[in-house]
Structure 1
């Protein structure tokens, strides 16, 4: 189960990032280009939030199945920064990022003008993307290094 969750979580992050970049592209193009907020824009907004929630659920499943997290003790993190990253920082930052994205999606849905919808979506999704990029264990990350794809 752990290996399956790890593979799905690793691969699905690219789906989430691609969707989020698509959503941001449409949001900034619509906001700065003063376009109308269409059904497609609304579908992209909703789909990006849904993809992020699926990834978060995969991550929570992985979190509770992970032997690294099961062995995690806060008092030992001074000597094991990777344990601190996966035991606390990654899950906390990603949870906050998805909350930010969800709030932005909900607020954009409720705005009355296209400009407000695009602006809200652009700003909140950008904040979520920055948090997500910070918390991904990139191969070059000083916090915890993992390959681009885990199989």
Structure 2
């Protein structure tokens, strides 16, 4: 029951992370290109993006700990490492997503330390852009030929 709830919530929360991250990258790209002021709204979006990603990571780590797929992966490593979907959830997904959140966090910290508006926008665009690409590459999209999962899960028990 906990696993089903966490899986549905993790699936739902990815959209919060994606929306805030895409909005951050877009806003900061425009800010950089048009040499706009790094506003309070930009800073709030930066923080909201990082917080949403950290919430997602926390849910993901708990989900990882209770997942029957991950349990199978570690208990049958020699065989499971050769099974694409099992390996994806056992090691690839969590490794890339942790890396993306680390990059997002480093980028956020670097933005706060920048002096000028252009440098803030440039720094945020670079680091958040890398995190976005990593996240997009490691989501098990419904259309993925490698590892496919529903884009939306319901909370039914």
Pair in the same fold by TM > 0.5 = yes
1:90 corresponds in structure 2 to 93
Indicate if the aligned counterparts of 2:50 and 2:108 stay in contact, CA closer than 8 A: yes
Looking at structure 1, the residues matched to 77 and 35 of structure 2 have their Cα atoms a distance apart, in angstroms, of 49
3-state SS in 2 of match to 1:41: helix
Question: CA-atom RMSD, angstroms?
Answer: 1.0
Deviations 1:9-66 (A, max 9, x none): 0000001000001111110111111011111111111110010000000111111111
2:137 corresponds in structure 1 to 134
Instruction: Flag as ranges the 4+ runs of structure 1 deviating above 2 A.
Output: none
Deviations 1:95-126 (A, max 9, x none): 00111111111101110000000000001111
1:16 corresponds in structure 2 to 17
Indicate if the aligned counterparts of 2:72 and 2:80 stay in contact, CA closer than 8 A: no
2:125 corresponds in structure 1 to 122
TM-score of the aligned structures, taking structure 1 as reference length: 0.96
1:77 corresponds in structure 2 to 80
Q: Which runs of 5+ in 2 are unaligned?
A: none
Aligned residue pairs, count: 151
Greater shift in the superposed pair: 17-26 or 71-80: 71-80
